[in-house]
Each structure stands twice: as C-alpha cells, then as structure tokens.
A = this chain, B = another copy of it.
Amino acid sequence: MEKIKIGIYGYGNLGKGVELALKNNPDMQLVGIFTRRNPTDVYALFNDTQVFSVDDAEKMKDKIDVMILCGGSATDLPEQGPKVCKLFNTVDSFDTHAKIPEYFSKMNSVALESNTLALISCGWDPGLFSLNRSLLESVLPNGNNYVFYGRGLSQGHSDALRRVEGVKNAVQYTVPYGEAVQRVRDGENPNFASVRETMWRECFVVPEDGADKNKIEKEIKEMPNYFEPYNTVVHFISEEELKKNHNTMPHGGFVLRSGNTSENTNQIAEFSLKLDSNPEFTASVLVAYARAIYRMKNQGNTGAITVLDVPVSLLSSKNRDELLKEIL
C-alpha cells in the first residue's frame, strides 16, 4: 500500500509532536520538516528526518499529500495558512476562537481557488471538544453545555507572568474546581455566575535576585483578563525547582452536556482528556485528521472544512469490515 506523504510546516513543540505521532501511524510517511530557520540549524528528533527551507516548499508540491501547519495562531497561521493551502492540502490548529469565522472564510476561498482541501482549527479545543459540543447539543437540545480546563499548563498565561517586572521565569496552571465539576456531574444544571466559580489559577514564579515579591504578587493578581477575574495563587520558587518540577506540558479538561429528555429526566454526557503532553496529543489529533483529509481530497472535496465535517470512519486505519466487526 502506498503511504500518505506528510509535511510538517513549522518546527516547535507541535511540529515535534507531529514527528513523534507519525511513528505511531505506519500508513503515513514524513517527507520532511519545513522551517523558516536555516535548515542546517534545525535538529529533528529522528536522524532520518529531512529538513527543508520553507522557500523550497513550492518545488515539493507534488511530493506531499497533506501539509500539517504547526505555527502559532497569533501571527503564524493567519499568514502561513492561506499561503500554504494555495499549494497543499492542509491541516492546522488555528485556535483563536473569536477569529475562526474570518480565518475559515479566507482559507475557504483560497483552497477553492487552488483546488486544495484545508482542515482548520483541529486539535482538542477547538477540535475534539468542538465535536463533542456539537454532537451532545444535537442529541440533548434541551440542556446546558459546560467546559472546564485543567489541570494544565497554559502557555499564554505563563507568558503573561514572564512579562511582569522582576519575574525571571514562571509557569501557570489552570485548575478546575472539583466541586463545580461534581455539581454538573450530579445533574444540578448549575448557573455559574462567573469563571471565578469554575476554575482557579496557580502560578509558580522565579523572581529576579532582590525583586519585591509582594509587588510581583499584587501585579499578577490584578492583571486584567489574565488573572483578575480568577482566584489566583502565587508560589515563589527557585529556577532549579522550576526546571525540575515544571518541565512538562500537561493539560486536559472536560466538556459536559446536561439535558432533559422529558420533565425530571436528566441525561449527562461527558468527554474528558487527561494529557501528559498537550502538544503531543494535539499533534496526534492533527495526524489522524490528515489521514481523513487525504481521503476526502481523493473523493473530490475542496475548500475549507472543520472537524465537524469529517466522518470518523475516515480517521481510522481500519477498513469498513474491520470497523463493523471490531468497533461498532
């Protein structure tokens, strides 16, 4: 069987995760990593991984079935997405929720024009969580959606901590309140007045030598949007402790739907993730969906789509008979 030929565009944590995930999927083959850096300066995880410059991507148009875009949503993807989907079928993890309609519209028009297929906003949220939100809302139209994040490391909030004066290094964990999750699981259908009731933020901060810790803590707790709306706890630790105990990127969360099918009959459905590594899991989702994109393109589909448009059977390496016998 011919393997599905995959390219990785951008090589940070997510790109490395894709490189790892492809090793778990023997029906796919990594053609190479495309980087904006000098390719000879990039060291891939595996010796046999080829590294190219993004400038050489166009020449390899016919050698790659699906390009997985591993850049960030803030500045990389809005520019790279439309550029790359002119040449390749793409999968990306664009996750700026408020800008998804605009990004979809741009990607859709470029992909339709270029006869390519672009899956946007894949991963776990947006991604598998979106899939469950839509599925469960459709099955239980008379109900409420709940989402909780954590316990997990938030890259954006960690970055915000590092911008505070006197902070040398820092990480932030988002932590759901167990009691709030339990109230939903118990079918109470609670109305939470604010996010403060559903999750809190735990910060581990390495101060600069001689920095004023009280001032740092106050500034963090009062930071609008990032920390002010939440209960926030700040721990001061040493650089060694940070390197030793906070060097992985765990994350996770829950999507819950609680709804009535008739008066006094409540039904609760929950999808949850507990991840040792957020980027490796996100990458694994992108790779499974790359298989589906390859197949959907072969079926003649073009334009932009989301995970909601992809039948799950197309993600699987199993054929129809195996799915009927082993999965259904």
- Chain A residues near B (Cβ < 8 Å): 17, 20-21, 24-25, 97, 100-101, 104, 121, 126, 128, 130-135, 137-142, 185, 187, 261-262, 264-277, 280-281, 283-285, 288, 291, 306-313, 315-318, 321, 323-325, 327-328
Task: Kindly list chain B residues whose C-beta atoms are within 8 Å of the C-beta of A317.
Answer: 138, 141
Which residues on B sit within 8 Å (CB–CB) of A130? 327-328
Could you tell me the distance between the alpha carbons of A138 and B323 in the complex, rounded to whole angstroms? 12
Instruction: Given A266-B276, A273-B268, A280-B261, verify A312-B308 contact (CB < 8 Å).
Output: yes
A274, B306: Cβ atoms under 8 Å? no
A134 touches B316 (CB 8 A): yes
Please determine whether B311 and A21 come into contact, CB atoms closer than 8 angstroms: no
A274 CB, nearest partner CB in chain B, Å: 4
Looking across the interface, which residue of chain B has its beta carbon closest to that of A127?
A: B328
Most chain B beta-carbon contacts within 10 A, residue among A104, A132, A311, A318: A311
Complex Cα spacing A280 to B17, Å: 42
Q: Contact between B141 and A135 (Cβ–Cβ < 8 Å)?
A: no
Chain B residues positioned under 8 Å from A17 (CB to CB): 261
Report the copy number of this chain in the oligomer.
2
Pairwise interchain contact B274-A267, C-beta atoms closer than 8 A: yes
Complex interface: chain B residues within 8 A of A281 (CB): 139, 261, 267
Q: Please name 27 pairs of A and B residues whose Cβ atoms are closer than 8 Å in the assembled complex, sorted by A.
A: A20-B262, A21-B261, A24-B141, A100-B328, A101-B324, A128-B139, A132-B271, A134-B315, A137-B327, A138-B291, A139-B315, A187-B274, A261-B283, A262-B277, A262-B280, A264-B276, A265-B276, A266-B276, A267-B284, A268-B274, A268-B275, A269-B273, A269-B274, A270-B270, A270-B272, A308-B323, A308-B327
Q: In the complex, A142 Cα to B277 Cα: how many Å?
A: 15
A20 and B312 form a contact (CB under 8 A) = no
- Residue among B104, B265, B309, B318 making CB contact with A277, cutoff 8 Å: B265
In-complex Cβ contact of A308 among B138, B273, B283, B311 (8 A): B311
Q: Which residues of B contact A274 (CB under 8 A)?
A: 185, 187, 267-270
A17-B261, A135-B315, A265-B276 given; name 4 further pairs at CB < 8 Å. Answer: A126-B328, A134-B316, A265-B277, A270-B273
**Cβ-defined partner of A284 (8 Å) among B140, B270, B285:** B140
Q: Are A134 and B327 in contact (CB under 8 A)?
A: yes
| Cα of A96 to Cα of B271 in the assembled complex, Å | 25
CA distance A187 to B24 in the complex (A): 19
A323 to B317 Cα, complex, angstroms = 28
Determine if B134 and A325 form an interchain contact, defined as CB atoms under 8 angstroms apart. Answer: no
Q: From B104, B261, B306, give the contact of A24 (CB < 8 A).
A: B261
**Separation of A24 and B141 alpha carbons in the complex (Å):** 6
**Contacting residues, chain B, for A311 (C-beta < 8 A):** 308-311
Could you say which residues of chain B place their CB within 8 Å of the CB of A309?
311, 313
